[in-house]
Amino acid sequence: MNKLPVNYPRNICAYCGSRGKLSDDHIPPKNLFSKPRPSNLITVSACTKCHSTTSKDDEYFWINLCLRDDAGDHLSARANWNSVLRSLNRKEATGMRRSFLSDLWNIQLRTPAGLYTGNRLGYDVDLARIRKVVERIVRGFYFAEFCEPLGLNNVVKVILNEDLQNAPKDFLEELNQTILLPLASMDTKVIGDNIFIYRYHRFVKENPIFSVWGLSFYGHVPFLCFTGTDSVCVENMQKSDEID
Ligand SMILES: [Zn+2]
């Protein structure tokens, strides 16, 4: 349990495989961990191109995780609250603040019976941006665990809770039996005090590109991710119940 990867190559970019100028890239982004940061943070090498555009997305991702109802009780998420506010108040953060605050609005919370319970702050999350950060984390760990880049021609599909909210019951049951239960039996890898947890499973021996990942942040906020070629991803998901 919790054998984090260590012996992966450092001389190529974990995302695109190039050998240009490389620098360390934290997976998951280190801003998720409040200081003092845990000693077992993972870095992979990233080229300038794969590294450059990520910091604003990381910040958006982190702020959103900390604001989520299901993360609010985790000590580290709470400790991050002050940093969230500081971060939004920075002068340089004007663009970030504007885009984030534009997502915020006051919604009225009603109980199922329709009883008014007061105003609360709601926000519309930029899910594409969230997916982008999660995708990069999966690509990073794919490299760290399997010692080769997934490759930019292959895809990571990120499934959010929101995606499954309206899924039919029998689909969810199938997902549970064929994907989630086998995944839950795999080794749990933990970074920080349950701040980040992941598991992965390669279901199909003949197609090592196809893998399933479960990520969890702050003890809750879960993401289910698939790697594969664009078409194979869905196909294998449907077929995986035929495989031992
Ligand atoms: Zn790269």
How close is the Cα of 15 to the center of ligand 1, in Å?
A: 5
Q: How confident is the model at residue 126 (pLDDT cuts 50, 70, 90)?
A: confident
DSSP 8-state class, residue 97: H
How close is the Cα of 148 to the center of ligand 1, in Å?
A: 12
In this structure, the answer to whether residues 112 and 204 fall within a common structural domain is no
**Residue 170 resides in a domain:** yes
How close is the Cα of 92 to the center of ligand 1, in Å?
A: 27
CB of 57 closer than 8 Å to CB of 65: no
Domain that holds residue 65: 22-123
**Residue 191 resides in a domain:** yes
How close is the Cα of 231 to the center of ligand 1, in Å?
A: 24
Overall average pLDDT of the 70-83 stretch? 59
In this structure, the answer to whether residues 175 and 225 fall within a common structural domain is yes
pLDDT of residue 127: 79
* Bond before 9 cis per omega within 30 degrees: no
Give residues with Cβ within 8 angstroms of 180, minimum separation 6. Answer: 214, 224
How close is the Cα of 173 to the center of ligand 1, in Å?
A: 38
How close is the Cα of 19 to the center of ligand 1, in Å?
A: 8
User: How far out from the chain centre does Cα 86 lie?
Assistant: 23
**Residue 157 resides in a domain:** yes
pLDDT of residue 148: 94
pLDDT of residue 79: 61
Report residue 100 as tokens: 């984030």
In this structure, the answer to whether residues 118 and 160 fall within a common structural domain is no
Residues with C-beta atoms within 5 A of ion ligand 1: 13, 15-16, 18, 47, 50
With tokens 């599909």, the residue in question is: 157
Amino acid occupying residue 243: I
State the total domains in the chain: 2
**Residue 115 resides in a domain:** yes
Helical ranges in 149-218 per DSSP H: 161-164, 169-175, 181-184
- CA–CA separation, 87 and 82 (whole Å): 8
How close is the Cα of 12 to the center of ligand 1, in Å?
A: 8
Q: Please, what is the average pLDDT of the chain?
A: 77
- CA–CA separation, 41 and 144 (whole Å): 12
In this structure, the answer to whether residues 72 and 161 fall within a common structural domain is no
Domain boundary residue, one of 123, 139, 162? 123
pLDDT of residue 169: 83
Q: What H or E segment, with its residue span, contains residue 60?
A: helix 55-67
Q: How confident is the model at residue 55 (pLDDT cuts 50, 70, 90)?
A: confident
Using alpha carbons, select from 148, 124, 242, 143 the residue that is nearest to residue 200: 143
In this structure, the answer to whether residues 97 and 27 fall within a common structural domain is yes
- CA–CA separation, 241 and 243 (whole Å): 5
Question: Which residue(s) pair with 122 in the sheet?
Answer: 105
Report residue 54 as tokens: 């990520």
Amino acid occupying residue 142: Y
Say if strands 189-191 and 155-159 run parallel, antiparallel, or are unpaired: unpaired
How close is the Cα of 25 to the center of ligand 1, in Å?
A: 11
pLDDT of residue 85: 59
Report residue 32 as tokens: 């998720």
pLDDT in tens, 103-123: 443 333 333 444 444 444 445
Residue 81 has pLDDT above 90, yes or no: no
**Residue 167 resides in a domain:** yes
**Residue 141 resides in a domain:** no
Overall average pLDDT of the 71-76 stretch? 58
Residue 98 has pLDDT above 50, yes or no: yes
pLDDT of residue 74: 63
Domain boundary residue, one of 123, 144, 165? 123
Using alpha carbons, select from 41, 11, 16 the residue that is nearest to residue 26: 41
Q: How confident is the model at residue 41 (pLDDT cuts 50, 70, 90)?
A: very high
In this structure, the answer to whether residues 104 and 182 fall within a common structural domain is no
In this structure, the answer to whether residues 36 and 83 fall within a common structural domain is yes
CB atoms within 10 A of CB 87: 18
In this structure, the answer to whether residues 36 and 112 fall within a common structural domain is yes
Overall average pLDDT of the 16-38 stretch? 91
Domain boundary residue, one of 103, 123, 143? 123
In this structure, the answer to whether residues 76 and 38 fall within a common structural domain is yes
In this structure, the answer to whether residues 110 and 194 fall within a common structural domain is no
pLDDT in tens, 180-196: 888 889 999 999 888 89
**Residue 11 resides in a domain:** no
